[in-house]
Amino acid sequence: DTAVSQTPKYLVTQMGNDKSIKCEQNLGHDTMYWYKQDSKKFLKIMFSYNNKELIINETVPNRFSPKSPDKAHLNLHINSLELGDSAVYFCASRTGGEQYFGPGTRLTVT
């Protein structure tokens, strides 16, 4: 059984479009995260939700809007995509110390 899943795995789209990435975890964790990994492998946290409540909101353009319909799901919607948004986006969840990452969504903006 997949612990943290993301869809889609790959996303290729044009500048200016709006897209969404979905994340689900079946671990029963209360806290979920979105990370962005750039081409140099740097992992940077974007958002975190704890039991559907936004608790971490890093310096991210407001074109990015997370939504958590329930504590098992955390989605990421991106408006007006830009070339610089191209990256791998990871969802993660946590209950104790370690974080469990999803397989990632590779977003390519052309």
Partner 1 sequence: GQQVMQIPQYQHVQEGEDFTTYCNSSTTLSNIQWYKQRPGGHPVFLIQLVKSGEVKKQKRLTFQFGEAKKNSSLHITATQTTDVGTYFCAGPNAGGTSYGKLTFGQGTILTVHP
- The Cα–Cα gap between 39 and 37 comes to 7
Question: Min. distance of Cβ 96 from partner 1 in angstroms?
Answer: 9
- Nearest residue (CB) to partner 1, 28 versus 97: 97
Q: What is the gyration radius of the CA atoms in the chain, in angstroms?
A: 13
Q: Does 43 bind partner 1 (CB under 8 A)?
A: yes
Window 50-69: residues binding partner 1 (CB under 8 A): 50, 55-56
The angle formed by the CA atoms of residues 27, 52 and 58, to the nearest 5 degrees, is: 100
- Draw the binding track, 3-42, toward partner 1 (x: CB under 8 A; -: no contact): ----------------------------x--------xxx
CB closer to partner 1, 44 vs 63: 44
User: Which burial class, exposed, middle or buried, applies to 93 when counting CB atoms under 10 A from its CB (0-12, 13-18, 19+)?
Assistant: buried
